Chains A and B, each alone.
Chain A
Amino acid sequence: MDIRCVNSFISGLLNVSGMLGMSSMERKGLSKRAKLRTENDVNIIIGLVGDMRGSVVLSMQEATARNIASTMMGGMPVEKFDMMPKSALCELANMVAGNSVSLLEKEKVLVNITPPTLINGKNMITMISQVETLVVEFEGQEGKIEMNVATED
């Protein structure tokens, strides 16, 4: 995958988390995986179509997800992972993907995104296309977020 594309996604997430009051979010690690096996309970997936074809998945623990939802809603405590935090996280993923895609457009890479879908469950295994997945880790006060970008070139 092109390095410019990776940077657009990293900046996309950092821009949006700053905008939503999660200014402590920092990029931690960058790695590659042949197959994605996530241990996180909450996954939000957004598809990419256009000059690049693939998916972006944000994955995190349920506690992190609740913390993020709480920050997004102005510090309102979030005890249960119900419709409200789910919808907040879908919106976060949508904003991250939207922001990244508009950054990509500046690099002359035109991409369209699908609406977000949130999947949560226990002992999850995921496989996002047959291509190598790039994993970017972020960490902030709210907890750890993993961004998985899988694109077919």
Chain B
Amino acid sequence: MEGNSRIIQFIKATNTVFKDMLDLTVSSGQMENEGDSFVSRGVTVIVGFTGGWKGLFFLDMSQETAMKLATILTGEDYQSVAEEEVLLSCAEVGNIISGNATTAVNNAQPGLNIRLTPPSVFVGEDMSIFNVRLSSWSVLMQTDFGAIKINVAVEEVKK
């Protein structure tokens, strides 16, 4: 499988999750190769893979977008991105997207058996993210409440 084709299931999953769960329309941009590092927009959710794939999935957005996302999910307004429910909402969205996508990949390629780690959320200023020895592909998704970048950095484990 080519490096950039691995992101396709994640684009599909993101579209489905945003449409069905959050009732938002998303338009996806072009795939881009980001090399081994990128600069965060403010909030990053990380989910790791082991099993047939080794690598990470990132969901990256601005602090405003994260707060709006949490508002849609919980129906409450938030003043700060540091509130626990905002962080939990972002983690949950990341978890659902990566869960959907890996289920699709596992079904398409039986025996791959990809497993996920629990999501972690990082919030900060001028954050940069560095993956050692893993080249990543990303797609910028435009939504009504701001841009969300999905980034997939994986390699297949050689048996």
Contact = CB atoms under 8 A, between A and B. Distances in A.
B74 interface: no
Interface stretch (B1-9, B10-18, B50-58, B137-145): B50-58
A10 to B, nearest CB: 21
A129 B120 contact: yes
B50 A49 contact: yes
B100 to A, nearest CB: 18
B126 A122 contact: yes
Interface residues of B, number: 39
Contact of A114 (B54, B91, B122, B125): B54
Interface in B97-148: 115-134
Contact-size category for A: 35 or more
A124 B48 contact: no
Contacts of A128: 118, 120-121
B26 to A, nearest CB: 25
A124 B131 contact: no
Contacts, number: 127
B93 interface: no
A2 to B, nearest CB: 17
Contacts of B81: 125
Chain B contact residues: helix, strand, loop or mixed: strand
A120 B124 CA distance: 9
A120 B44 CA distance: 12
A127 B88 contact: yes
Interface in B31-82: 37, 40, 44, 46-51, 54-56, 81-82
A137 interface: no
B152 interface: no
Contact of B130 (A54, A117, A129): A117
Q: Indicate the member of A47, A94, A116 with the most B CB atoms within 10 Å.
A: A47
A54 B117 contact: yes
Contact of A53 (B40, B55, B118, B133): B118
6 contacts: A115-B54, A119-B127, A119-B128, A121-B126, A121-B127, A127-B91
